[in-house]
Structure 1
Amino acid sequence: MIMHTCKSTGVLSAFVDYFWYMESQNTSYQNELSLPDGSVDLIIDLTADKVLMATASNETLRLNHVFVCGPHSRHFVICNSLETRVIGIHFKPGGAYPFLGCPLDQLHNVMQSMDAIWGHSAGELREELLELSSVGQMFHVLSDRLLQLAVKPLDSHPAVHYAIEQLDKINVQTDQVGNIVGRIGISHRRFIELFQRETGYTPKRYSRIRRFQEVLRKLNERQNTIQWSDIAFDCGYFDQSHFIKDFRAFSGLNPSDYEAIPGRHYNHVPL
């Protein structure tokens, strides 16, 4: 497998975490479990076949070559083909909103063709990328075109920006979200509306997902024997049963089953 990433720069650095490119052939496994991380990906498939996905409820989706994977709070399955060649944009939490033209909560647990958002420009972008000879050129063009295709002003509401910073701290419990709202200075109802519009999540759900991500980070970086109770405590769970319940809700797996799967990498688990 060939994998390239490129951090965003300039104006886009406030919205895009990184650009990525992946190419592989004849994978040893057919499907891949993708886990929620609190963000959004715009994906451009560069092969001839349409992309197949399966939702957590086993609904099979056949997607166009350019699509957005909205903010998920459930896992989904990527149905790998014999040949994979894709390029994408991994947005920061809340970063996709200016480019998609709709409240992000409308895309919660949804995969949407970008034809419905960008019109013919989505297909034209893919065709332009197919003409390029290097991944570096693709990243450059993708960055330039993304700026041109923004449908809203390139900014975020300061209340949402502040809340994301606070909620990304793993020691924030979900029952402390109200304290964050109190420091922002707007009504609770208005804040929830803004947060869902720009991130696709309620603040509490977003906080749970980011804590789940911290668990995955610890699992993938730990070298010695895993003590589940230690991980639960370190990541701010009330107890181990609460930790296991959250892990299963987001991944469909028990923590020990996830840990035992060879070839897993954070949010990507071969099946």
Structure 2
Amino acid sequence: MKENTFGYNTFRIPVSPAYQEVFSHFYFAENKSSEIITKTLLPSYQTILIFSFGAVPSLKSGQNTLIDVENCLMLGPIKHAFEYTLPAGAEILTVNFKDDAFYRFFGNAAIAEHVPINPDELLNEDCFTVLWHELNKLDRIEDRVNHILKFSDPYLIYRPKVAEQLANFSQQALNPIKAVADQNNQTERNIQLNHKKHFGYSAKELGRYQRFLKAIDLIQTLAKNASKIDWFEIISECGYYDQSQLIHDFKHYINLSPAKYLKFQQDICNPIS
């Protein structure tokens, strides 16, 4: 995803193969215009670390809580859409943790779920504040990304076999919890608990989110190729029971109906695409 509109610049930065098990990508956005820019970020079910440079940006949750992002902030797993605002002169660099990577750094995947938190509080030291000062001295985005990658190396802990199996599970016809439980001769309940512990959400939550994401992608595809959306095609292709269930999921994740999402999608950032 790349956007350059009237001084608002944003793009994704891919991760080198050595770190693709840990980070999905980096995301950069800056506001070089004279206007205040507000966007909505779709849920990603990832934990994110936001570094802020220049003017102070802010986040607004679904409960209308306004949070300033000064230096750095940890947030996630992102289960619902939220607004972010970039005043003139603001610049953000976002680190997107993949699967169980947040647990491998901090030992508790759900610790930042309910409230944003300064990452230094998770380690009981000011290393992220120090990191921000080091990043602030660098001009090139690529240099900042490489510096973050090198910084992360000493903090990564061993990845348990069960977490690896869950993260890499790709057989859509099978229940991942049951299949991994059978592979390890463990109960499904134990695997469920491990999933929540390492990822910060249950496999059932993830399945619902993936269905919603499939609907988002299909809506965008159909909108490009048809003058009118066939909502019943969306329902059928994505496995919804009926239109009310489709609408309920959109309200749950982004507080918009599918039709309103289609109307306002230019102001909505999809962290996956």
Q: TM-score, normalised by structure 1?
A: 0.84
Shift in Å, 1:163? 3.1
Q: Which residue of 2 is the match for residue 230 of structure 1? A: 233
Amino acid at match of 2:42: L
- Aligned: 1:67 with 2:70: no
Does structure 2 conserve the Cα–Cα contact (< 8 Å) formed by 1:8 and 1:16?
yes
For residues 135-167 of structure 1, what are the alpha-carbon distances to aligned partners after superposition, in whole Å with 9 as ceiling and x for unaligned? 12112111111223x1x5142x33333334447
Counterpart-to-counterpart distance in 2, 1:203 and 1:30: 35
| SS of equivalent to 2:139 | coil
2:115 maps to which residue? 110
Q: Which amino acid aligns with 1:69?
A: L
Q: Deviations over 1:32-57 (max 9, x none)?
A: 222212112111001243x4222211
Is 1:83 aligned to residue 89 of structure 2? Answer: yes
Are residue 253 (structure 1) and residue 256 (structure 2) matched?
Answer: yes
The yes-or-no answer on 1:38 pairing with 2:57 is no
Aligned CA distance change for structure 1 residues 180 and 242 (closer, same or farther; 3 Å): farther
Alignment CA distance shift 1:266-1:32 (3 Å)? closer
Distance 1:207 1:96 in 2: 20
Give the count of matched residue pairs: 259
Instruction: Report the CA distance between 1:21 and its aligned residue.
Output: 2.0
Cross-structure match for 1:153: 157
Paired AA for residue 79 in structure 2: S
Question: Secondary structure in 2 aligned to 1:226?
Answer: coil
Report the counterpart of residue 242 of structure 1 in structure 2.
245
Out of 127, 133, 136, which is 1:130 matched to?
Answer: 136
What corresponds to 1:208 in structure 2? 208
**Consecutive unaligned residues in structure 2, runs of 5 or more:** 1-7
Q: Give the Å deviation of 1:23.
A: 1.6
Q: In the alignment, is the contact (CA less than 8 A) between 2:177 and 2:192 conserved in 1?
A: no
Task: After superposition, give the CA deviation of every residue in 1:46-83 in whole Å (9 maximum; x if it has no partner).
Answer: 1243x422221122223432111210222222133222
* Superposition RMSD in Å: 2.5
Unaligned 5+ runs, structure 1: none
CA separation of 1:65 and 1:203: change in aligned 2, threshold 3 A: same
Check 1:109–1:143 CA distance in 2 against 1; reply closer, same or farther (3 A cut).
same
Q: What residue is the counterpart of 2:220 in the other structure?
A: 220
1:26: which partner in 2?
33
Which protein has greater RCO, CA pairs closer than 8 Å, 6+ apart?
1
Per-residue deviation, 1:252: 0.4
Report if the CA contact (8 A) 1:64-1:113 is conserved: no
1:14 positional shift: 0.8
Deviates more, 1:12-21 or 1:55-64: 55-64
2:29, 2:92 within 8 Å by CA — same for their partners in 1? Answer: yes
Indicate the residue corresponding to 2:4 in structure 1: none
Which structure 2 residues correspond to residues 159-198 of structure 1 after superposition, within 5 A?
Answer: 159-166=162-169, 169=172, 176=175, 179-180=178-179, 182-184=181-183, 185-198=185-198
1:5-20 to 2 correspondences below 5 Å? 5-20=12-27
SS in 1 for 2:146: helix
Supply the AA of the counterpart residue of 1:89: V
Shift of 1:27: 7.0
**CA 1:5–1:63 in structure 2 vs 1: closer, same or farther (change >3 Å)?**
closer
2:177–2:203 contact (8 Å) kept in structure 1: no
